[in-house]
Amino acid sequence: MPSLDTSSLVFLVFSLLFSVEARRLVESDQTEQPLLFQYHNGPLLSGKISVNLIWYGKFKPSQRAIVSDFVASVASSKPTTAQPSVATWWKATQKYYQLSKKPSSLALSLGLGSQILDENYSLGKSLTTQQIVELASKGAQKNAINVVLTSADVAVDGFCSSRCGTHGSASGSRSSSSGHSKFAYIWVGNSETQCPGQCAWPFHQPIYGPQNPPLVAPNNDVGLDGMVINLASLLAGTVTNPFGNGYYQGPKEAPLEAASACPGIYGKGAYPGYAGDLPVDATTGASYNAHGVNGRKYLLPALFDPSTSTCATLA
């Protein structure tokens, strides 16, 4: 399983610049070799999985709704949902299950689970990686992904300097029949005041590279819309590489996964510093590429298509 810091470093880069390998996917030079994605024969998450949200610090109810609506949108099959939808984006992960040729891995159903509020900063405002795992352990540990979301005034080891979020697994409570089981978790920080140029791009000016004007955030919240991008990327990486032996490219210690293999790509024509050609809301001027439940709009990263070795975008 990849270490937390190094795997998250790769994830940070996706918000800023194309990696050499990912750039090969979008360059027109046909002599470039496609990115080789490999399946390492480990388990993928399957069955009914609840996504539990653990809110650490101060979040407004309207901010929590942005994220909870996104998670609900992933599993939404409502025919009234405008296209392209978040659910359509998520269906791209099914190709990984089909290629794995493991019958037990063919059925994955995500749903919004419980939400836990820790508004009193029970572990303080400066968290270690182990404390993130401790917070993640507060959620149900069976058939679940526990997502820790830290508010803008919470510092986390490596946040901004080397990562915007991470995913991993940890030992759960002891079961008399199976001993310690593992559960998957995700952490994402709100970068609005600490490092929006790193972790909330393209809704903020990047601190490096081309200085194109930032896009208007679809939910009018740079920090939370940035968190959705990072959560979406990590969610795709979690289900396709939950324990470090699923689908990834490159070294196990710093893998490129389903979304981090396509850094900075949101629409067709993307290049370093430019998110791509995207729809713009006529009323708000916000850029987006996916419709969600409750009339939401989101900007979601491209996902690597293992069947074509390309980065697939909704727009």
Residue 189 confidence (pLDDT) above 60 = yes
- Name the more confident of 218 and 210: 218
Cα separation, 122 vs 145, in Å, equals 21
- Tens-place pLDDT, residues 236-279: 999 999 999 999 999 888 899 999 999 999 999 999 999 999 99
Percentage of the chain beyond pLDDT 90 is 72
At residue 81 the predicted structure's pLDDT band, cuts being 50, 70 and 90, is confident
At residue 112 the predicted structure's pLDDT band, cuts being 50, 70 and 90, is very high
Question: What is this structure's pTM?
Answer: 0.87
- Name the more confident of 74 and 36: 74
Residue 27 confidence (pLDDT) above 50 = no
Predicted confidence at residue 173, as pLDDT, reads 67
Which of 37-51, 58-72, 248-262 has the highest mean predicted lDDT (pLDDT)?
Answer: 58-72
Give the mean model confidence (pLDDT) for residues 205-224: 92
Cα-Cα-Cα-Cα torsion 59, 144, 312, 103, nearest 10 degrees, comes to -170
